[in-house]
Amino acid sequence: MTTTISTVKTRRLPLVTYVLAAGVFLMGTTEFIVAGILPEIAGDLGVSVANAGLMITVFAVGMIVGTPTMSILTLKLPRRLTLSLALVVFAAGHVVVALTSDFTLILGARFLTALATGAFWAVAAVVGAKAAGAASASRALGVVLGGGMLANVVGVPLGAFAGQVIGWRGPFWALAVLALAAAVVVYRLVPVGPESGPTPSVRAELASMRDARVWLVLAGCAIVCGSSLAAYSFISPLLTENTGMAASVVPLVLVAYGVGAFIGSNLGGHFGSHHPYPVLFVAAGMTFLVLGALSFLSHNAVVTVVLIFLLGLFGMATNPILIGKAVGYAGHAPTLASAFSTSAFNLGTAVGSWIAGYALESAFGATGPVLVGASIAALYFLPLTLLMLKDRKQASLAE
């Protein structure tokens, strides 16, 4: 059974959109699940918790470097084959982690898993946007990326709980099995091709990156995640030190962020299809205001929880719109632009959390990372304004 990509405007998104979202859900879960079972992993492997944390670092590096690299290496492959192979490699990486006690081999498997994740994310964004058609591209991307947001709400907490009950290797086995099942479904649902339009080529992909608007979008992607996740990465000390919450309550508050991010991603994609710039500017302004409020009001527990929910809601609302624009500007060669968008998100996360780590040890203490996030958020208006002006100029020239 195969599904044909439709470019006709329709209210109902194609089934493949939700299948891709399920794949992104699995990959979003594996990206963050390690954080919830670090003590169990460290104890079983005989390494320190800090060293066990390298499983997260290696994955992030693999996503930053591997996403554009894998998008080029798999460019000539049919997209359904790329997506299915990525899921198979993803499953293989998890089987290796579940079977071995060699920490070096585990890190290598995590890096391999990140490469597969990067390839899947980049191609899934392109397939999801194309399947929905130009009019619904942002909406479809909101659903696809929403799978990653849902991972923070359901996948990560559930996986961490399972890891504590049945052992940390259990969730890795479960993710491997689910990924293999998803590979079969994706292979059956994604169109066989060939698609209409020019034959994919590295030269065309590189040429698509010459549009300055693509780089403005990438700057926006890095700033969005750099601002939100600079604060989110160190939410735990903020809650325990400033707000005075017990450590056992922290995961529940993080679920509030995940719920906000899931809703924001879907709403941003839905409304961004028709009103991209109002949504982008409102989300940017609200993210800045929420972070500013959080830096002053984090001693009030109720207000803090509400603000963390709003941080997820507005901080993640722009992602599907930005990726949709990057894919749109790239025209018939969108894969590399989509890949760099994913890399930009991860780069922003890495840099923002790195700076926030220094701020945490400064005189500002637990409030420091939130101030860093607010400062980065203020930068968002520059690329956003330039992008809007360039779009208007392009539109006037086309008339």
List the domain boundaries for the chain.
Answer: 15-196, 205-394
Residues in Cβ contact with 286 at an 8 Å cutoff, skipping those fewer than 6 apart: 310, 314
Fold of 15-196: Growth Hormone; Chain: A; (1.20.1250)
Do 15 and 140 contact (CB within 8 A), yes or no?
no
The pLDDT of residue 250 is: 75
Domains 15-196 and 205-394 share a fold: yes
The pLDDT of residue 38 is: 67
Q: What is the mean pLDDT of residues 284-307?
A: 93
Angstrom distance (rounded) from CA 259 to CA 91:
27
Q: How high is the mean pLDDT of the chain?
A: 83
| pLDDT range class, residue 303, cuts 50, 70, 90 | very high
Signed CA dihedral, 154, 155, 156, 158: sign only? positive
> Of 77-91, 201-215, 327-341, which has the strongest mean pLDDT?
77-91
Angstrom distance (rounded) from CA 305 to CA 277:
28
- pTM, rounded to two decimals: 0.73
Higher pLDDT, 246 or 286: 286
Side-chain-facing half-sphere of 233: CA atoms under 13 Å: 26
Q: What is the mean pLDDT of residues 178-193?
A: 86
Angstrom distance (rounded) from CA 244 to CA 237:
9
pLDDT in tens, 81-125: 989 999 999 999 999 999 999 999 999 999 999 999 988 887 887
Q: What is the mean pLDDT of residues 46-57?
A: 78
The pLDDT of residue 154 is: 79
Q: Inform me whether the pLDDT recorded for 4 exceeds 80.
A: no
Residue (of 321, 318, 289) closest to 306 by Cα position: 289
Q: What would be the CATH architecture of the domain defined by 205-394?
A: Up-down Bundle (1.20)
| pLDDT range class, residue 1, cuts 50, 70, 90 | very low
Q: What is the mean pLDDT of residues 363-377?
A: 91
Angstrom distance (rounded) from CA 58 to CA 214:
27
Return the ∠ at Cα 344 (arms to 298 and 25), rounded to 5°: 75
